[in-house]
Every structure is written in structure tokens, then in C-alpha cells.
Structure 1
Amino acid sequence: MKLFWFILFFFLVPGFIKANQFAYFLSSKDHHAYRIDLVKNEIARLDSNSNWAFFNSLKTDSTYHPDFMKTAEFTVLQNTNSNIIYIFQECTNQIYVVDLTNFKLMRKDETYYRGDNCFAYRFFRGDKMYSLGGYGFWRTNNHLIYFDTKTKEWESVNAEGQAPSGMYHGFVSYFPEKDVIISFSNYSTDVSTNYGILQLDQTIYQFSFFTKTWTKLGKITHPVIRQILEDYSYHDRRHLFYTGKYFVFETSSNRNGIHTYYFINPRTLEVLEYKDLELKYARIALGASQPQNLSIFIHGPWLLNVLQNPNPESPDSFLYINFDDLAANATFIGFLTDLPWYQSDWFFASVLITLVSLLILLMRKIKPNSSHKEALKPHIQEVKWDIDPTSLRLLQAILTNQNTDGATIDEVNRILDIENVAFDSQRYRRSSMINQVNQTLALLTGEKNSIIRVNSEEDRRQKRYKINPNCLTLLQSKLNN
């Protein structure tokens, strides 16, 4: 009998246990961080000892009907000069509203399904709420939708033009003075295209509410910023923030010590750089804050950082910064659309002039010499063989199976030690490794793709990896030596 009650308790009790459902916001009025508990219906405030202290309870009425996912994440939006806090549940776009005047908690929408707007960009256009892009149903999207207060549902905005294929973990901002949206450096993915690999689009887009049209403004060509954004993982981009004037981010290598912050003004596409040489902000890391252990709170240009190891000689346990003021002391380093020096017009002009001058000089003083010309040709085989052990094992495995059906995907996963990671991560890391090896071998073999993917002869739905026949002999000789 005891065993029966134990089993009953084991299966029934977890159904009554609810995960914590917290939404956080930073008050621009008193500069305190607050936490809204959507399960207990109460607000807590972060005290000077970095503890959440009860602040006020929240009232609800009979119309309040929450619908939280167990792993829900929330985005908070505060309208300017308002006591209203808007809370969006990610991936559903459910809207919960807290009125700080009467401490009432309400739900505004009638959404009953799971949506495709995980980590979408949300903003106010006047008094109307909009949501743009996001992820869901195994793909990203570029949908612009608005919340209809009459139907209490999200409705789409019809548009035309050259829209980004997906808008996910990118830079997006709305300019009310021009009534336009600027967006760039977006990720997109679709499981039915290119095996669902995340694609980074460095194009700069603009949407006009007046014409309902997307247009392309150019590409990100600034050599420093383009490289930083390509190296940035899409997970790290969750820590980027927009002050209302600047996008603020730092390189993924900025963890401790001297920090370098980059500011992008989306209205002018100016790029600024701030180096914290005085170590004023050495204990801040934009990417260190996690949902389970928040240490950074942001609202507009203001950032509140909870000091993990405060100075015992100082009573301060927080650091409060206005990043717009920080940008005023930053150094201008160009525009997003600046070309690297080796791609600029003046560089090509100087190269052209130099080449013409050398050609004239050679034609006057040197007779054609076929043997000399032959000596000038680059010898691909003399390129230095420099390849890491993992890539070497991968090549050896593929060569071993070259005369059969080729190396299988499972064999490649085993060599890369990614057998136990998620399927999507396997594809991404496998593709990244193959591309890396091909880039390394390009100078040696003269081929863009030394490793190629082919259909299995036994089952054309399965893929195999083989060595490009054009460089098979060269790679065999290199590996044998």
C-alpha cells in the first residue's frame, strides 16, 4: 500500500509544480532593477545586497488567463514616459501588461497557439505594437506584424521589395522620425534548404512604412566590423542591445581586462570604438549575464551591472552606465559601408598605374624570354603543407574509402567527435569543418573544393564524402610522405 501511494505521489506532484516565470526590467526613474513573478503575481526589487526583496503584489481579475510554457522566456518593452510594462512571451507573442500605477496584471491578447516569433524585434510605432522576424517551426521569417487591439490578435503587414530572407539575432531598429526600419547582419535558416545551416546576411536593408517596401542600402564592408560580426556566434548576439541611438556590442574575446566597445549609429551607419584603457568597466561583460543568474539589466542607453565581487572598501555593489554618454567619448573609425584599403578605388587606381608603368619599362628593356616566364609561374606543389591533426585524420579516412562508396556522415561525425550533439549542430559543425579544410587546401591543390559531397551509389538519398579527382594524386602523395 505504501508503494502505491509513493508511486501516485511521484507521478502526480510534478504536474502541480510550475517553473519560475520571471520578467525583468530596469526602471529609468529610480535606477533599480525589478523582477516580475508571473506565477506568484508579485514584483521584487534588487536590493543593495543583490537579493530580490518583495516590492508589491499584483492584482488580477476574472479575465486574466495566463498560458505559460514551462521553458518560457520573456522580453520586456517599456513605452517612453509611461508606467506601463509590456511583457512578451517568446515564441508565442502573448502580451502581458503590468500597470505600475495601480499594480494590476493583465493579459492583452487572445493568442492560443505557438508562433514563429522567437526572439523577434518588437517596438512601438505610436501607440501600436509591432513584431518583426524571429524563429519558429524550424525556420526563420521576415514577417512584419502588428497587434490589433480590437481583435486582440496579431495581424500581418503586407509588403513588397527586397526583404531579407530571415531576421534572427540581427541588428534591427525603428526610426519614428522617418517612419522606417533599418536592419542588417541577420541570420536565416530553413530545414528544407541547405540542410538548415544558419546563413549570415551582411546586407543592409530598409523598410518604409509609407511605401510598404523593402530596399537594399548596400553591404557591410567595413573590414573590422564585418570580421567581428562573422566571428560572433548567434548565441552571443542575444547580448547585443540598442540604446535608441546606437547598437552596442563587444568582441566575443572581451571577457576580462581592457574592454573594447563598438557603437553603430544605424541612422548614419557611423562606427565608433571605445577602448576602456582606464579599466573603469573591467568587471562588465555583456555576454556574462545568463537568464538563471542575471547580472546585467538594460533600458534604453542605461545599463545596470551587479558587481559579483564588489570592492569591500566601497559601499557600491552596482555600476550604472549611460552608453550614449560613453559613445560621446568614442573614436570614429569609419562607416559600415567602408571598403578595406585593398578594395578602395584609389588602391585599384594606384595598382593600375604601377602595372602600366612596369609594363612599359619591361617592354623597353627586357626581351621576351619563355624560360623566364615559365619560372615566374607559381608552383602549387611547393606550397607549405600545414594542416591540423583532426583535418589530417578526416582526409585519411576519406582517402581510405575513396575507391568504395566514400566516407559516411557517421564516420565524419566520429572523427570530429560530434556524435552526441544535436542533429542541427552536427550539420553545422560538419559543414564548417569541411569548408575549413577546403580553404586550407585551396592554395595547395588549386581547387576550391578538395573534399566533395556525392550521392551514395547504393542509396542516392544518402551522402558520402570523397576527394576531388583533380587533386587526388597530389593529396595521396602528401599524406604518404
Structure 2
Amino acid sequence: MFKLVRNFILFALLSVSCPSMALDHYINWLPNKQNLRQRINVDTRNWEREISIDQWAIVSPITLSDQDQATIISKFNRADYFYLPNQSIRFVLQGTGIVFDFDLKSANLTRLDRTIHSGYNFSAVRFYRNNLLYSVGGEGFWSYNRHITYFDEKSSKEWEILRPKNKGPEMISDGFQGYSRKDDAFYSGGANNKNYLEDEKIDYVKEFQRFNFKNKTWEVLGNITDVIPLKEHRTIYWNGTHFIQMARDRIYIIDPRQNEVYLYKDNATYFEAGGGEYYLSGDTIKYYHFMHRGPLSIVAVNALLKKAEFVGKFYEADYHNYYLGAAILLILAAGAYWIYQRKRKLQPTFDSLERKLLKALMDSGDNFIPTNELNEILECGTKSQENQRRIRFMTIKQVNEKLAFYYNIKNAIERTASTEDKRLITYRLKKGVREKIKAIL
């Protein structure tokens, strides 16, 4: 009987509380170096601050148009926020391209963008680079969004696309996603991959990639190792330097630049956020358990890293393509060698005059053979000077070409002007080729 009454009371309380929660539309943020949040109550148009965990007080009313209020309520989701230099905060509603600026001096909340379409980029990663607001990836409408976009604040007030030079990940949602200012690169891997079938299954992308903003190119770094529990329930954050993966009694601290994984264990602490919300303050992660109502947990990553144990590499290079490339190169090299050997086996045919010429050059040693002697060797001494010149030229040319093609002996027979009479040409073998030609003959 007691259980029945207790369950009835709980049901009644939930029935009363759920409608009130459904009416709450809060845009939250955490001021720098603080542990108490602030928020905009869109329904009441009030700016509120936290005086203790989940206890709020009004700071002041805000200025918000009816149209913008209706837009926020109709498209409401968690907002990413960024502090701007002009004492204002920029909010971007998740799952949309809607951008608002909140002036901390005037308490004026104003919409900047002209976005129409929404619902295609839930869980997109937002960040600033070179004073431009970027949005990468996300999912919605039963598909994945793999695009890199940026907000054109100055002209179109729309989200414009950045076009990489090559194809990147098929999905950029959940998992290890984050922009590194040190590398000027976006890291992506471990995303969930739903098949959207009746028998829906979720696989996880093991491939880890990096997008280099300077050359607009995606690069595959390798596959995520088994050091990381990739397929279990995951709570993963990126603090600009490290990925932090929470588990029940442990934290994996991952440095993608150095390709290192560190493990911190604490049997007395429960780390998983349990569906709450989180904020980043430098390297520190601050997150609220249980539907944003607390308690607050603070994870100072650099402090925990000093106590953590190195457990291995985050990713291993996939050498399959290298092996395939090496195999292809070996096959090509073997084919080239086979062709070369076939050429070598096809011994050139030196006719009688060519052999006679080579033998005479071999016998002369380092001495030159004058033109008149060469005419006698080539048996053309009684012919006209024009025919003599043609026979000398063609015979020497053919011998040099055969030696170069079949035996890689280039320009074996040299022509040189006579020291006695510059008008006369003498002939001899180039230095260093005599032993090679001897082996051939």
C-alpha cells in the first residue's frame, strides 16, 4: 500500500513539473573563471544569474523582439556561445544556423543571420578561426552533414561553404571532433554511423583524419586503436588541446597532435555527465549532472594529466595502402627488369665493318686513328670524299647507338680535331669503355 501511494505521489509531481519544464527556454553560459552560470529566460525575457547551484535571480529585463522570441522558441535547442571583444556574447542554436548577439551593456538580444533552413546539423562543432565563426558536420533529417561552413557576418549574413580539395569523413558527428589553433587543423574520427534501417545499428568510424586549413586538404592519420573503448557509452569533450573521454571511474586524456593516450583512474569519483551540460574554461571542463540541475563537477585536465598513466597510441597508421603501393612498385620494377634483360639477351648484330672498326680502335689503345686510316679500315678509301664521309658517319653512328642501347655504353667512339691540322678529324675510344667492349667482343 505504501509503495502504491508513493508511486502515485511521484506520478502526480512529474505530471505537474513536466509541463512547467516544457515551457522553459533558457540560453545558458558560464562567465570566465566562474562556477555559477548566467542565462537568458526567453519566455519571460529576463537575464538571470545563478546564486547557488540551480537557484536563480533576475539581473535585468532584456530587449527581444516578438519575432525573434518566437524564432528561438520554435527552433529551441542548446546554444553554443562565444565571448566577443565588444562586451557581447554570440549564441548559435544547435541544429540551426541561427545566430544571436547579446549586448551585456544594454541587455539587448538581436538576431544577425538570415538563415532559413534548419534541422540538418545537430551536434555540429562550432569554433572561431581568424575571426570567422565556423560550423563543421552534424546530423539531421536522417542523414549526416559533412560540410565545413563559416558565417559571413559582413555581407550575406548566411552560412557559406568552404570547399576542401579532397574528400573527407563521411560523417562528422559525435566522437572525437575539434579544432586545434596550434595546428590550424580540424580533427575528426570515431563518429557514430547509423544505418537508418528498420534493424538500426550504430557503428563507429575508426578512421581518424585531420583537415589542414592552410592547404584545404583532409589527411588520414590512421585508425583509432583499441586502447580507447570506442563502442561503449561515451562522453567526450574537446578543450582545444586534448580530447577527454569520460567513463564511470576513469578519464582518457587524448593528445591527437602527439598521438598519445593517458588514463586517469579514481575509484571514488563518478565522471560520466549523465545527460547534463558542460562548459569549458581554459583546459578545465565544468559539467552539471542530471538535466543541468547539478551537482557541478570540475575536471582540471592538465592537473589530472600529471597523475595519469600513458597507455598507448591514439591511432595507428594504416599501412595497407603503403603495402599495396610497394607491391605495385615491386611488380613494375620486376617488369622493367625483365624487359631490360630481354633487351640484353637480344644481342646486337655487328656487321663485319663494324667489328673491324671496333677491333682497330681497341688495338690503337689511347692513340687516335686519323681519317685516312679509318677510310682504309672501312674499305672506302677509293670512293669519293662525299661517300667516305657518309660511310664514316653512318658506321660510327650505328656502333655508338648499339653500344648505348644494349650495353649502356654512351658515346663510345669520340671524334676529335687533329693536333697537327685542325681541319682533319681523328677517332678513338672514350676512356673507361675499352674493358666493357672487350667483354662484348
Deviations along 1:204-223, whole A, 9 cap, x unmatched? 111112221212111112x2
In the alignment, which of 296, 302, 326 is matched to residue 324 of structure 1? 302
Does the alignment pair 1:92 with 2:96? Answer: yes
Larger Rg, first or second structure (1 or 2): 2
In the alignment, which of 237, 240, 246 is matched to residue 244 of structure 1? 240
Aligned residue in 2 for 1:167:
172
SS state at 2:172 partner: coil
Does the alignment pair 1:202 with 2:206? Answer: yes
User: Hey, what's the Cα distance between the residues in 1 that align with 2:26 and 2:261?
Assistant: 35
Does the alignment pair 1:19 with 2:5? Answer: no
1:41, 1:57 within 8 Å by CA — same for their partners in 2?
yes
* Deviation at residue 268 of structure 1 after TM alignment: 1.5
Aligned residue in 2 for 1:134:
138
Q: Pick closer, same or farther for the CA change 1:28–1:321 going to 2, 3 Å.
A: farther
* Deviation at residue 80 of structure 1 after TM alignment: 7.7
Q: More deviation in 81-90 or 145-154?
A: 81-90
- Whose RCO is larger (CA < 8 A, sep 6+)? 1
Does the alignment pair 1:177 with 2:182? Answer: yes
Contiguous gaps of at least 5 residues in structure 2: 1-20, 318-441
Deviations along 1:80-99, whole A, 9 cap, x unmatched? 87743222222222112223
User: Hey, what's the Cα distance between the residues in 1 that align with 2:187 and 2:131?
Assistant: 20
Aligned residue in 2 for 1:113:
117
1:25, 1:298 within 8 Å by CA — same for their partners in 2?
no
* Deviation at residue 36 of structure 1 after TM alignment: 2.1
**What is the letter of the counterpart of residue 303 of structure 1?**
I
* Deviation at residue 66 of structure 1 after TM alignment: 5.0
**What is the letter of the counterpart of residue 53 of structure 1?**
A
Aligned residue in 2 for 1:152:
157
Does the alignment pair 1:266 with 2:259? Answer: no
Aligned residue in 1 for 2:192:
187
* Deviation at residue 60 of structure 1 after TM alignment: 3.7
Kindly report which structure 2 residues correspond to 1:19-418, keeping only aligned pairs within 5 A, or say none: 19-48=23-52, 50-60=54-64, 64=68, 67-68=71-72, 70=74, 72-79=76-83, 83-149=87-153, 150-189=155-194, 191=196, 197-221=201-225, 223-225=226-228, 228-232=229-233, 237=234, 239-251=235-247, 254=248, 259-277=249-267, 279=268, 282=269, 284-290=270-276, 297-304=279-286, 320-337=298-315
SS state at 2:137 partner: strand
TM-score (norm 1): 0.55
Identity value in percent:
25
User: Hey, what's the Cα distance between the residues in 2 that align with 1:168 and 1:337?
Assistant: 19
1:242, 1:301 within 8 Å by CA — same for their partners in 2?
no
1:26, 1:32 within 8 Å by CA — same for their partners in 2?
yes
After superposing on structure 2, the runs of 4+ consecutive aligned residues of structure 1 that deviate more than 6 Å are 193-196
1:123, 1:174 within 8 Å by CA — same for their partners in 2?
yes
Q: Pick closer, same or farther for the CA change 1:218–1:301 going to 2, 3 Å.
A: same
2:251, 2:271 within 8 Å by CA — same for their partners in 1?
no
Contiguous gaps of at least 5 residues in structure 1: 1-16, 309-316, 340-481
Aligned-residue RMSD, C-alpha: 3.1
1:77, 1:123 within 8 Å by CA — same for their partners in 2?
no
* Deviation at residue 120 of structure 1 after TM alignment: 0.5
Aligned residue in 2 for 1:389:
none
User: Hey, what's the Cα distance between the residues in 2 that align with 1:249 and 1:319?
Assistant: 15
Q: Pick closer, same or farther for the CA change 1:82–1:245 going to 2, 3 Å.
A: farther
**What is the letter of the counterpart of residue 240 of structure 1?**
I
Q: Pick closer, same or farther for the CA change 1:207–1:196 going to 2, 3 Å.
A: farther
1:36, 1:43 within 8 Å by CA — same for their partners in 2?
yes
Give the total of aligned pairs: 293
* Deviation at residue 242 of structure 1 after TM alignment: 1.4
TM-score (norm 2): 0.59
